[in-house]
Amino acid sequence: MKTIRYELAADGIATLTFDEPDSPVNTMTPQWQADMAEAAAQLLSDKARIRGVLLQSAKSTFFAGAELKGVLELKQEDAAECFARCEALKRSFRAIQTLGRPVVALLNGAALGGGWEVALIGHARFALDDPKIRFGTPETTLGLIPGATGITKTVRLLGLMAAQPYLVEGKLFSPQEALTLGLVQGLGASVDELKARALAWIAEHPDALQPWDRQDYKLPGGSPSSPKIAGALGVAPAMLHAKTRGLYPAPQAAMETMVEGALVDYDTATRIESRKLAQLMVGQNAKNMITAFFFNLNAIKRGAARPAGVPRWQPKKVGVLGAGMMGAGIAHAIASRGMVCVLKDVSADKAMAGREHARKLTAGHVAKGRMSEAEQAALLDRITPTASVADLEGCELIIEAVFEQRALKAEVTREAEPRLAPGGLFASNTSTLPISGLAEASVAPERFIGLHFFSPVDKMPLVEIIRGRLTGDAAVAQAYDFVQALGKTPIVVNDSRGFFTSRVFASFVMEGTTMLAEGVAAPLIEHAALAGGMPVGPLAVIDETSLSLAVHVLEQTRTDYEREGQRHVCTPGELLVEQMVKEYKRAGRAAGGGFYDYPAGQPKQLWPQLKALFEKPGALSDSTELRDRFLYRQAIETARCLQEGVLTSVAEANIGSIFGIGFPAWTGGAIQFIASEGDRFLPRAAELAKRHGDRFVVNEVLREAIAKALDQPR
């Protein structure tokens, strides 16, 4: 065996130590699966001399789960082989747990996905008492299901309703939570303590069986046919479809496997599990989600875009200019990570209001017991509201989050930058204005960078780092470190108008307003976006971000083009938004209404006048065509960002589009969407260009950029 060490001590304790060579973690490689079969056979051969079995890891974690790279290469015709491999692995698991000897897993670290299923081989589990450790089966977040007995066993341990969050939603849990759930039998402070407790458990349970192998076993909470469970299961599919819109097959497969498996014996249930997993493994959705949420996201977390050779950095004191919703949100994020924040505005009252916003953001955590009042007070004490620029003295990083106006940003830069500590970093939170132009107000443009946060800051996981023309590598690396210190995901892009996320987000919103200008019914526009997987319709989202802000950005764009001796040609969508604000006085939700009305105490509703003002008989009503326009428009614009060098990696394109723009996660991101469309993409883009305009054109240069991007190794 190459990945497992087998030892049988004189006291009758057999130990399987998982230790994959040349890897920081243990994974379910084909070699490991073969080794498990051999280990099971060896245990059976030595059964007469064995009184207990320990499962342990030589790594810093217990087991990392399945090896996912091979899934990306699977084709539909490979489903039968996938099923056979799942069944073979389960035979090894079943042989060990029915050996007739107690089996205990020692969880010295994380056990996720297939790793948790390995832990479930044991009749008992003992784990390190570390709140940072996570257990669970998050496979549905990668387009798969727990298919190595995870669903079958979890349902039989917890019951159908209690198991649902962990299997359908992929919810993770800590060792303490596992103890409360009864999924581990004890916690310990060290591996030695875990082993001692495991040996004691083995001595006390010489004839250990899995619960479902006992004659008196009953499913916790009731079977699918019991009235209470049957009632809940009757509405569960509709609730799930409302949440996934039918775009994510894995959660539905997990629910089906849970219910079908609960109606049959254990071995039949595990075969159902294998069949459902095999179907998902060869499907496109799993490939998309594994690409984005495993390979792409992990590349970003590892710092693939961080310039090398720069020491790790985290500021202790950070200044934020502007205490509005965005600035206050940034201040809260900084303080919540233990850093001191000086929150400056033009008046002490406005600065204090920004600090009060941070209090409101923490109030819910206090009410739910996730944060004590003392912890809340300490967090707020780290935010110093002020109207005095002198309080910024010694900040290692200053972030301006003032109004999107070039002159104002230049003014606050010149005022605050001299207060930076030696070698300090100055950042702009602009969402559209080119960083190189804003850096003209700086005395050290090599230390000037863009940090584009998204609203609401406390909920949005992405920060877009924008490298200006003169921004140095050290500044980029330090900004990367700061973003990760906030617990957020950084992407690094090069400078341009709108950068990446705002530019592509605008393409989505303006495609929607262009449809409205063409006479398409507003409800159909919103529905088509949601049907494609966008979290919010384009008319609803521009209401939230403000129509007046969009008009202001348009006016600034016109001014900038004029300064360069050019003329900005407005799209029909831009002109319609301008008309909404200037002619109809509909500036967005904050101003009382935009494309939607917001009646007090009632759900928002589309402004009734949209039908009379813009809807035209005979306008496009094909929902598939509308949905494709939204998806293709954003994907093509993302590809243009790669072609122009605004984006430099597919990973950042995919993760940035999902986390920053809300591009549907089922696609795996904007570039992965192009990959998943395959041979359909170019002809479909040509059809859309012919019917709807040049923004859908994929010329030869762009084709080459796409081909190069799709050829990048994962």
CATH number of the domain that 135 lies in?
Answer: 3.90.226.10
Nearest C-alpha neighbor of 591 from the set 524, 538, 522, 542: 542
Placement of tokens 């008309």 in the chain? 579
46 & 141 share domain: yes
CATH number of the domain that 580 lies in?
Answer: 1.10.1040.50
Report percent pLDDT > 90 for the chain. 91
Q: Can you say how many angstroms the Cα of residue 573 is from the centroid of all Cα atoms in its chain? A: 30
Q: From CA 706, how far away is CA 649, in angstroms rounded?
A: 12
611 in a domain, yes or no? yes
What tens digit of pLDDT does each residue of 180-195 get? 999 999 999 999 999 9
Strand spans (E) along 555-651: 596-597, 605-606
Q: Can you say how many angstroms the Cα of residue 649 is from the centroid of all Cα atoms in its chain? A: 18
141 in a domain, yes or no? yes
Given 237, 266, 282, which residue is the final one in a domain? 282
What tens digit of pLDDT does each residue of 473-529 get? 999 999 999 999 999 999 999 999 889 999 999 999 999 999 999 999 999 999 999
551 & 482 share domain: no
Strand spans (E) along 44-203: 52-57, 65-66, 103-107, 111-112, 124-128, 135-136, 186-188
Give mean pLDDT, residues 418-429: 97
Given a contact cutoff of 8 angstroms between Cβ atoms, the answer to whether 175 and 184 are in contact is: yes
530 & 490 share domain: no
Amino acid residing at 450: G
Question: Among 180-194, 335-349, 356-370, which stretch is predicted with the lowest mean pLDDT?
Answer: 356-370
Q: What is the mean pLDDT of the chain?
A: 95
Given 471, 497, 523, which residue is the final one in a domain? 497
What tens digit of pLDDT does each residue of 630-663 get? 999 999 999 999 999 999 999 999 999 999 999 9
127 & 197 share domain: yes
306 in a domain, yes or no? no
453 & 474 share domain: yes
pLDDT for the residue numbered 697: 97
pTM over 0.85: yes
pLDDT for the residue numbered 569: 87
pLDDT for the residue numbered 713: 60
pLDDT for the residue numbered 679: 94
pLDDT for the residue numbered 557: 84
369 & 506 share domain: no
679: burial class by Cβ within 10 Å (0-12, 13-18, 19+)? exposed
Give mean pLDDT, residues 58-73: 93
CB atoms within 10 A of CB 621: 11
Give mean pLDDT, residues 43-69: 96
Nearest C-alpha neighbor of 245 from the set 217, 205, 285, 208: 285
Contacts 24+ apart (CB under 8 A), 416-420: 416/319, 416/321, 416/344, 416/389, 416/392, 417/442, 417/443, 417/444, 419/319, 419/389, 419/390, 419/392, 419/393, 419/394, 419/395, 420/392, 420/395, 420/396
* 136 conformational bin, left if phi > 0, alpha if psi -120 to 50, beta if neither: left
303 in a domain, yes or no? no
422 in a domain, yes or no? yes
pLDDT at 619 over 90: yes
- List C-alpha distances in Å: 102 to 33, 185, 668, 672: 22, 13, 43, 46
Given a contact cutoff of 8 angstroms between Cβ atoms, the answer to whether 342 and 470 are in contact is: no
Given a contact cutoff of 8 angstroms between Cβ atoms, the answer to whether 289 and 182 are in contact is: no
482 & 507 share domain: no
pLDDT at 400 over 60: yes
pLDDT for the residue numbered 19: 97
pLDDT for the residue numbered 380: 96
Could you tell me whether strands 605-606 and 596-597 are parallel, antiparallel, or unpaired per DSSP bridges? antiparallel
CATH number of the domain that 398 lies in?
Answer: 3.40.50.720
What tens digit of pLDDT does each residue of 437-456 get? 999 999 999 999 999 999 89
First vs last C-alpha separation in the chain? 29
Q: From CA 684, how far away is CA 706, in angstroms rounded?
A: 15
613 & 528 share domain: yes
Concatenated DSSP letters for 391-414?
A: GGTTEEEEEE---S-HHHHHHHHH
549 & 631 share domain: yes
392 & 453 share domain: yes
Higher pLDDT among residues 320 and 564, named by residue: 320
Concatenated DSSP letters for 239-293?
A: HHHHHHTT--HHHHHHHHHHHHHHTS-HHHHHHHHHHHHHHHHTSHHHHHHHIII
Report percent pLDDT > 70 for the chain. 100
Which residue segment(s) compose the domain that 410 sits in? 317-497
491 & 556 share domain: no
Give mean pLDDT, residues 46-75: 95
- List C-alpha distances in Å: 359 to 331, 365, 368: 11, 10, 15
CB atoms within 10 A of CB 611: 12
pLDDT at 714 over 70: no
Q: From CA 432, how far away is CA 495, in angstroms rounded?
A: 10
Give mean pLDDT, residues 350-356: 96
Give mean pLDDT, residues 251-274: 97
Residue 512 tokens read as 């929607």
447 in a domain, yes or no? yes
| Number of domains comprising the chain | 3
226 & 373 share domain: no
291 in a domain, yes or no? no
624: burial class by Cβ within 10 Å (0-12, 13-18, 19+)? exposed
Given 439, 472, 497, which residue is the final one in a domain? 497
Could you tell me whether strands 65-66 and 111-112 are parallel, antiparallel, or unpaired per DSSP bridges? unpaired
pLDDT at 270 over 70: yes
311 in a domain, yes or no? no
